[in-house]
């Protein structure tokens, strides 16, 4: 679960670990990981990518769940609220959180070559941002930090 999305790795180690952690978190908090929600999380966990709500919806519909947008959006919103998924503003898309439970305000690294999305630890970034904001008297409540660029493999290949 602390892998390099950008490098070859046994991805089941990622997804299995996150699923277990998700179950534990939700059991603890009392929130319910219903079939739709679980399935959406599994779908997001299949790859280190961001998926649009309609892509998720299509998968759900093919598996016998509802096929109207709210079905996908509700599950996705739930996961985001529970800290199990993140919304990538830049892509109008969602990605599974790879470090659920850990307090984290990540920066997202979006590879323009292979569409991989990685969470980078961003404590220093947040600190710098809050400092810059404080200079203007502004109090940061939530922030999104998203970088487009090239992962090591795609940089190599280009």
- List residues near Zn ion by CB under 5 A: 3, 11, 14, 97, 99, 119
Does the annotation place 97 within a ligand binding site?
no
Q: Determine which helix (DSSP H) or strand (DSSP E) holds 154, and give its type and residue range.
A: helix 152-157
Q: Minimum CB separation from DNA for residue 110, in Å?
A: 14
* 117-120/85-88 β-pairing: unpaired
- Residue 35's SS3 state is helix
Rounded to whole angstroms, how far apart are CA atoms 64 and 61?
5
Q: Name the residue nearer to DNA (CB basis): 56 or 151.
A: 56
Q: Is 138 in the site for a copy of itself (CB under 8 A)?
A: yes
What residues pair up with 51 in beta bridges, in sequence order? Answer: 94
Contact residues toward a copy of itself (CB under 8 A) are 4, 6, 89-90, 107, 109, 111-112, 118, 120-122, 124-125, 127-129, 131-133, 135-152, 155
């Amino acid at each position: 679960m602390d892998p390099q999305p950008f490098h070859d790795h046994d991805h089941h180690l990622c997804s299995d670990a996150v699923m277990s952690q998700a179950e534990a978190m939700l059991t603890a908090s009392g929130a319910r990981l219903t079939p739709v929600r679980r399935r959406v999380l599994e779908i997001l966990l299949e790859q280190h990518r961001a998926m649009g709500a309609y892509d998720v919806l299509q998968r759900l519909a093919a598996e016998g769940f509802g096929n109207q947008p709210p079905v996908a959006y509700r599950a996705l919103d739930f996961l985001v609220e529970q800290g199990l998924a993140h919304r990538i503003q830049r892509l109008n898309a969602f990605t599974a959180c790879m470090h659920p439970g850990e307090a984290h305000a990540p920066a997202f690294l979006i590879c323009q070559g292979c569409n991989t999305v990685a969470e980078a630890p961003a404590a220093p970034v947040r600190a710098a941002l809050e400092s810059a904001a404080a200079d203007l008297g502004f109090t940061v409540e939530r922030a999104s930090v998203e970088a487009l660029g090239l992962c090591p493999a795609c940089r190599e290949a280009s």
